[in-house]
Structure 1
Amino acid sequence: MLAIRKVLVALAAAAAVAAGLTAAGPTPRAQAAVPTTIPLEFKNTSGRSEQIYIYDIGTLLATGQQGWADASGAFHAWPAGGNPPTPAPDASIAGPANGQTMTIQMPKFSGRVYFSYGQKLVFKLTTGGLVQPAVQNPSDPNVNILFNWSEYTLNDSGLWINSTQVDMFSAPYAVGVKLADGTTKSTGHLKAGGYAGFFNALKGQPGGWANLIRTRSDGTILRALAPGHGIESGALPSTVMDDYINRVWTKYATSTLTVTPFANQPGTKYYGRVSGNVMNFTNSSGAVVTSFQKPDADSIFGCYKLLDAPNDLVRGPISRTLCAGFNRSTLLVNPNQPDTGSASFYQDAVTNHYARKIHAQMADGKAYAFAFDDVGNYESLVNDGNPQKAYITLDPFS
């Protein structure tokens, strides 16, 4: 689950940046703006008859404890786990029937809201904490359950909540936030016919991409694995991006890739040149500030390993820019990155077709189809500093 954790880290980092945090911490005014819990309106318009189960799981920001929240927003810490893993307490909340809406309370978490159809999810605890579902693992106890999740951070500075496809594309849903003036912001809705449209498009994509689709024995489509998990499970060739990677390496052996990682700091630039299997980045003084080994497809799709992005001000921002450029296949058409003009995204024959097809089916064009899909603000995220209410809407499959 490395890729999805990057999104949670990105949400927490965005929250910290928005808060303007310094050594002194947020101002008393910011702390008072957000209550201990806020309502989450959970609406079921899925068109399905199965019982819905909801789970609000995460880290309580006030204490750093991991646990879950019940429908009232009360926090429950996980008990100690074991080796082998032991069953976790039942954290489920019975959700609304199709056509119905219910409201629960969200505490100040950095975590996830899971929802499943027809069956409760299986969570276990190790000595290191909670074991979350791993959809790429065929022996995972949740592999035949239809489920999905949203990610959120709620803290003294506001709410950040997203819809995500970093690990998989599955049961459709949207997220939203109600502002103090009564208006709402939302994202995550598919176009009409977008759910079937995505799976049909993926089925028609040559090169192993159709193998990402997982179905249940009764014929129910459960999900499409993200391509990194496809490589991990053997569904997608590990060489699927090699041709593009090789062309990028050849191009920047004789020309310069300029990265301007901060939109609000246009003067901060780094310059990449390839030497052998390494791309070295220098600053304006010519000093090498970081270097990247030639990545493989897994590093690109997961934005980790050879494209690791630490939470710093140099390597991390360069890496996330490279990650976006590789996934969107913009590095050959534009030597100035990030390329934030979507017209050039996914135009190469070798690209992240999973991400391409997800974005094509989103009503607003936004998605979290890979960990740093927020480069250029193409992520399916809403936030507000004074949230009155959060929303999760289960959308129709048809």
Structure 2
Amino acid sequence: MPHTLTRGALPLAAATTLLGGLLALGSPGRAHAAVPDTIPLTITNNSGRSEPVYVYDLGTQLSSGRQGWADADGVFHAWPAGGNPPTPAPDAAIPGPAAGQSKTIRIPKFSGRIYFSYGRKLDFRLTTGGLVQPAVQNPSDPNRDILFNWSEYTLNDAGLWLNSTQVDMFSAPYAVGVQRADGGTTTTGHLKSGGYSGFFAALRAQPGGWGNLVQTRSDGTVLRALSPLYGVETGALPANVMDDYVNRVWQKYTTSTLTVTPFADQPNTKYYGRVSGNVMNFTNSAGTVVTSFQKPDASSVFGCHKLLDAPNDTVRGPISRTLCAGFNRSTLLVNPNQPDATTADFYRDAVTNQYARAAHAQMADGKAYAFAFDDVGHQESLVHDGSPRQAYLTLDPLS
């Protein structure tokens, strides 16, 4: 199914951090210089590819809540009404830099995505509910044979959150950066030398269907690897791919207790999980059951949804995101105290999120957004500053 953007939800760069109680967007804090209505974004094309690049800045205008796109000057344009079937969206493409060149555009106060594509413009459509995002797990999606990727960002009065994401797919590599108010620059998202091909080689070498996540074009170009969530949904990965690990977790915590301390700044807020039948019940310090989880399937684990739904509250959501990270990283059997921030414990079990394991292994700084709550323990590829001077997007080689 296509992804339809129907409301102004924060992108992962902000939403998951907010959910974890680690950050309150727009809340009182240290004083910042006023964030201007737009900031410069410099896009550097180090891909080595000769095709033209097209850039899109799409999202929700925070001042009005309207969906639309921004042009190269950061001017907002609202989407027109869509239709059923979906109608073509206005051409929002911004010509990107040629190989070896840079181009600076301006990005407004938005919550959205910056797409880039090689060789062809992306095909965006509008429904009566909003913008239809590319959904290349669908064989009939018109963007399936286009090499593209996107970054997610929120720019508001509290600053900039900009990430590189692999939550939906691992594709054309790029890094993000921000110049802070003090003039220093923070970057993340660069792969190790040979990391792009190394990622795909690792997936293909992994038994159990993980290589089926890789999509190639008829000319042999490797386009992307789908996330394991889409792998399960499309049948590329078996639906029981995580069952053995989940069953072992359920067995362990039938006779022992899983302690979750979801907020790093609230060490005395703890919840205690014990399994009874197919249900893991969590109690607070007073012994009162505060939330319960059915035994999750692979879709729930990889998507951090369904049986591991994480509402934006102060109890179930933080517990769920901690469980999600523990299942994806396979740390729940080696450490009964979660979240486990010891990276040496991550992805060590034979049954784990092999996609996330490979993504982190190939990152120069080890940081990635390989599943929805990869920010648990600060493992996410995110840059942030409260008074950003400049943002950066660097298109890296596919090697």
Matches within 5 A, 1:204-353: 204-353=205-354
Secondary structure of the 1:292 match is strand
Matches within 5 A, 1:157-172: 157-172=158-173
Q: CA deviation at 1:14?
A: 4.0
Give the letter for the 1:231 counterpart: V
Give the letter for the 2:366 counterpart: G
Give the letter for the 1:194 counterpart: G
Give the letter for the 2:53 counterpart: I
Q: CA deviation at 1:267?
A: 0.3
Asked if 1:11 is matched to 2:4, the reply is no
Asked if 1:49 is matched to 2:50, the reply is yes
Equivalent-residue separation in structure 2 for 1:176 and 1:183 (angstroms): 10
Give the letter for the 1:191 counterpart: K
Asked if 1:65 is matched to 2:66, the reply is yes
Q: CA deviation at 1:27?
A: 8.6
Partner of residue 96, structure 1? 97
Alignment gaps of 5+ in structure 1: none
Asked if 1:115 is matched to 2:126, the reply is no
Secondary structure of the 2:247 match is helix
Secondary structure of the 1:252 match is helix
Equivalent-residue separation in structure 1 for 2:179 and 2:261 (angstroms): 34
Q: CA deviation at 1:181?
A: 2.0
CA contact (8 A) 1:7 1:371 kept: no
Deviations 1:104-139 (A, max 9, x none): 000000000000000000000000000000021111
Deviations 1:250-273 (A, max 9, x none): 000111000000011000000000
Q: CA deviation at 1:21?
A: 4.7
Partner of residue 373, structure 2? 372
Give the letter for the 1:210 counterpart: G
Q: CA deviation at 1:100?
A: 0.3
Secondary structure of the 2:394 match is strand
CA contact (8 A) 2:16 2:373 kept: no
Matches within 5 A, 1:49-198: 49-198=50-199
Equivalent-residue separation in structure 2 for 1:391 and 1:230 (angstroms): 31
Equivalent-residue separation in structure 2 for 1:183 and 1:8 (angstroms): 25
Equivalent-residue separation in structure 2 for 1:6 and 1:34 (angstroms): 21
CA contact (8 A) 1:33 1:385 kept: no
Give the letter for the 2:52 counterpart: Q
Give the letter for the 1:112 counterpart: R
CA contact (8 A) 2:12 2:152 kept: no
Give the letter for the 1:380 counterpart: S
Q: CA deviation at 1:183?
A: 1.1
The worse-fitting range, judged by mean Cα deviation, of 177-186 and 155-164 is: 177-186
Give the letter for the 2:350 counterpart: A
TM-score, structure 2 as length reference: 0.95
Q: CA deviation at 1:6?
A: 8.4
Label 1:206 to 1:166 Cα distance change in 2 as closer, same or farther (>3 A): same
Asked if 1:199 is matched to 2:200, the reply is yes
Give the letter for the 1:241 counterpart: M
CA contact (8 A) 2:374 2:380 kept: yes
Secondary structure of the 2:287 match is coil
CA contact (8 A) 1:166 1:369 kept: yes
Q: CA deviation at 1:307?
A: 0.2
Equivalent-residue separation in structure 1 for 2:169 and 2:66 (angstroms): 27
Q: CA deviation at 1:42?
A: 0.4
Give the letter for the 1:281 counterpart: F
Secondary structure of the 2:255 match is coil
Equivalent-residue separation in structure 1 for 2:22 and 2:257 (angstroms): 31
CA contact (8 A) 1:6 1:371 kept: no
What fraction of aligned residue pairs are identical, expressed as a percent?
75
Partner of residue 41, structure 2? 40
Give the letter for the 2:262 counterpart: P
CA contact (8 A) 2:257 2:274 kept: yes
Q: CA deviation at 1:341?
A: 0.3
Label 1:110 to 1:38 Cα distance change in 2 as closer, same or farther (>3 A): same
Deviations 1:273-317 (A, max 9, x none): 001110000000000000000000010000000000000000000
Equivalent-residue separation in structure 2 for 1:322 and 1:19 (angstroms): 22
Secondary structure of the 1:251 match is helix
CA contact (8 A) 1:12 1:153 kept: no
CA contact (8 A) 2:330 2:348 kept: yes
Equivalent-residue separation in structure 2 for 1:263 and 1:251 (angstroms): 25
Q: CA deviation at 1:94?
A: 0.5
Equivalent-residue separation in structure 2 for 1:27 and 1:344 (angstroms): 34
TM-score, structure 1 as length reference: 0.96
Label 1:365 to 1:27 Cα distance change in 2 as closer, same or farther (>3 A): closer
Equivalent-residue separation in structure 1 for 2:30 and 2:282 (angstroms): 41
Give the letter for the 1:305 counterpart: K
Secondary structure of the 1:33 match is coil
What is the aligned residue count? 393
Q: CA deviation at 1:13?
A: 6.2
Equivalent-residue separation in structure 1 for 2:165 and 2:258 (angstroms): 30
Q: CA deviation at 1:393?
A: 0.2
CA contact (8 A) 2:26 2:158 kept: no
Label 1:13 to 1:233 Cα distance change in 2 as closer, same or farther (>3 A): closer
Secondary structure of the 2:254 match is coil
Q: CA deviation at 1:9?
A: 5.2
